[in-house]
Amino acid sequence: MNPQSPLLHATSHTEPVVSTASVLMQIVGVLAFIILLILACAWLARRSGLATPKASSHSLKLAGSLQVGQRERVVIVETADARLVLGVTAQQIALLHTLPPAEPGTDAAATSATPDFRQLLQTFKRRGKKS
C-alpha cells in the first residue's frame, strides 16, 4: 500500500484521550455555578421584597397551660396586643376568650389572686406567734 493512501492516513489518526479528572472538574464547576445562581436569586428575592422574612419567635409566647382532659388543654398565648385563651384538642384549636395584654414588667404569678407558698408560710408563722 501507498503511504499516501487516504485509508492508511485515517486509521493512524487517533482521538484525544479525555481524563476522568477533567470531566469531574467540569461537573463540579457546573454544580458550583448552579448553587451560586440559586443563592443569588434568593438574595435578590429577599432584597426586592418577594420573599417575606419569617415571623420572629418572640411574637408569640405561651403564658400558661392546663390539662383538662386526656388530649384537651386550655392555653394562654400572649401576643403583642392581646392574650388569647385557646382550647386545644387533637382535632382543632378554638378561641375561648380574648384578654387585654399583660402589663409590661408584671409577672402572671405575681398578679395571681392565690398567694404563693412563701406568703402562706409567713401568714401561719404570724398566727402561731399571736397565740
Domain boundaries, position 19: 14-48
Residues 98, 58, single domain; the answer is: yes
Say yes or no: 59 and 95 in one domain: yes
Prediction pTM value: 0.39
Check if the beta carbon of residue 83 is closer than 8 Å to that of residue 76: yes
Whether residue 2 is contained in a domain is answered as: no
Indicate the pLDDT class of residue 69, thresholds 50, 70 and 90: confident
125: in domain: no
Rounded average pLDDT over 59-65: 85
Tell me if residue 95 falls in helix, strand or coil: strand
Residue 19 lies in a domain: yes
**Residue 94, in any domain of the structure:** yes
For residue 126, give the 3-state DSSP assignment.
helix
DSSP state of 14: -
pLDDT value at residue 40: 95
Is 7 contained in some domain?
no
Return the C-alpha cell found at 38.
440559586
- Shared domain for 42 and 69, answered yes or no, is no
